[in-house]
Amino acid sequence: MDRKSRPRASRGIDTSPAAGRAMRRSGLAFLVGMALIAATSAMPGWLAVTVLTLGLAAHTVGELWHAAGSLELQFRLAPAHTQGQYTGISGLGTGLANVAAPSLLGLLCIAWGAPGWLLMGGIFVAVGVAAPAVVRWGERTRPLSAEAV
């Protein structure tokens, strides 16, 4: 697929370092979205709806960057002969996150309110900021990546 035919959110995310940077951007977008959502608790209804919409838009951009970066890394860092195993482990991680997320989000975002939303945003930023370093480590420790094939 040539660069121009890629969806806009994934353009330029075609190397491991670019994927790491996309993950970092996604963490920042998640924080912006969650901070906007956290800010709505004391707003009048019409303003809260507007700010919630902006928060949802920021979160969606974060999701797009995260998906593009994580899929690039999933295939880029896996040795060619183990693509299926890496994809399976990635799916297992996603499944475990889907199991834990409702309880964690219920505790932080519903029970704790705005501070919980901001804490979740901080977690996403921390993971995003660490992503480029983790990607560099992954590249150094993989004997044969899909990129080298």
pLDDT, tens only, 11-70? 889 999 999 999 999 999 999 999 999 999 889 999 999 999 999 999 999 999 999 999
Q: What is the DSSP string of 24-69?
A: HHHHHHHHHHHHHHHHGGGS-HHHHHHHHHHHHHHHHHHHHHHHHH
pLDDT, tens only, 77-95? 888 888 889 889 888 988 9
| Residue 134 phi, psi dihedral angles, 5° rounding | -65, -40
Q: What's the pLDDT at 61? A: 96
pTM for the whole structure: 0.85
